[in-house]
Amino acid sequence: MSVNESVIQGVGGSAFSLRGRDCLALSPFTPGEIQFLVDRGLEMKQRYRAGEAFRPLAGKTLAMIFDKPSTRTRVSFETGMTQLGGHALHLNRGELQLGRGESIGDTARVLSGYVDAIQIRTFSHETVTELADHASIPVINGLTDLHHPCQALADLLTLKEEKGELSGLRLAYVGDGNNVLHSLLEAAAATGIHLAAAFPEGYEPDPAVVRQARDTALRTGAVLSFTHDPLEAVEGADAVYTDVWASMGQEEEKKKRIRDFEGFQVNARLMSRARSDALFLHCLPAYRGLEVASEVIDGPRSVVFQQAENRLHAQKALLVELLA
């Protein structure tokens, strides 16, 4: 069986059908479905690198709603739809009737009659769930304050590409207990990764997300642990991950957060506690000299730009499975 045949057949020889589903977070997907999407993403990357024309979404349109600035999310989704033969529409809230008071439900119903799927990048996760509740087409969360599922799929793809088997891999996360960590917890729990997260007191992840991830981990053998000591989290890690200390919408807290996150910078000293071949990951944008030292992000163990590219391939896999 070829690589592509194996990927298309699915994990463990069983096929998965995700058509018509929403992707608001990773927890609604089974561990097998998430593994399948990661393998599908690797297939998409292989096809792209081989120059193979693959356009299963010809005639399909993705509406992309943005309430937050975006580089990777916008470019990867728009490019992905083009490469798959479809079309993407960039919609800023200020350009929609949403900006003049039309309800989210009405907007969802209208767009459902025009396009085949909606991707939205916004602040409140409730906005995305309300949109999905009223839409009759798939809704994809491009980022909210609670979850960043598309980033986590790209993270899994990168780790599998570099390290092979995901189950049993030791991943350390150092930083804020934010949307990126929430989706990483769900991704790690589904794939058997041992995730150790370190954050300052007062910056813990959402308890409901942690409970959900731990329930999944019981079925997959994943280990999820939490500490306020970054050195403890990084000890023996196969990969070290961080994110900005102040996300979009938290700029006014930046000075306080810099004080609170003292000692949480990923630098050479911290990386020395991980394995000698440990990778460095960051979802970007990065602020060199704050959450990560230049010597690490620009060093030979950094895969941050490979990780960024993999947003394209992971999202193409998601789009194909939801729409094709």
- The active-site residue out of 176, 283, 307, 315 is 283
Catalytic residue at 250? no
Are the C-beta atoms of 18 and 321 separated by less than 8 Å? Answer: yes
Closest alpha carbon to 133 in 98, 108, 101: 108
Query: Annotated binding residues, as ranges?
Result: 70-73, 97, 121, 148-151, 179, 243, 247-248, 283-284, 311
Q: Which two tokens stand for residue 301?
A: 């163990």
HSE (side-chain half, CA atoms, 13 Å) at 143? 21
Catalytic residue at 283? yes
Closest alpha carbon to 64 in 117, 114, 143: 117
- The active-site residue out of 83, 119, 151, 212 is 151
- The active-site residue out of 121, 125, 147, 257 is 121
Catalytic residue at 87? no
Catalytic residue at 121? yes
Q: How far apart are CA 215 and CA 118, in angstroms?
A: 30
Q: Position of tokens 């919609």?
A: 91
Q: How far apart are CA 228 and CA 43, in angstroms?
A: 38
Catalytic residue at 23? no
Query: Annotated binding residues for L-ornithine, as ranges?
Result: 179, 243, 247-248
- The active-site residue out of 148, 170, 182, 313 is 148
Query: Annotated binding residues for carbamoyl phosphate, as ranges?
Result: 70-73, 97, 121, 148-151, 283-284, 311
- The active-site residue out of 145, 311, 313, 315 is 311
Are the C-beta atoms of 151 and 143 separated by less than 8 Å? Answer: yes
Catalytic residue at 212? no
- By annotation, the residues acting in catalysis are 121, 148, 151, 243, 283, 311
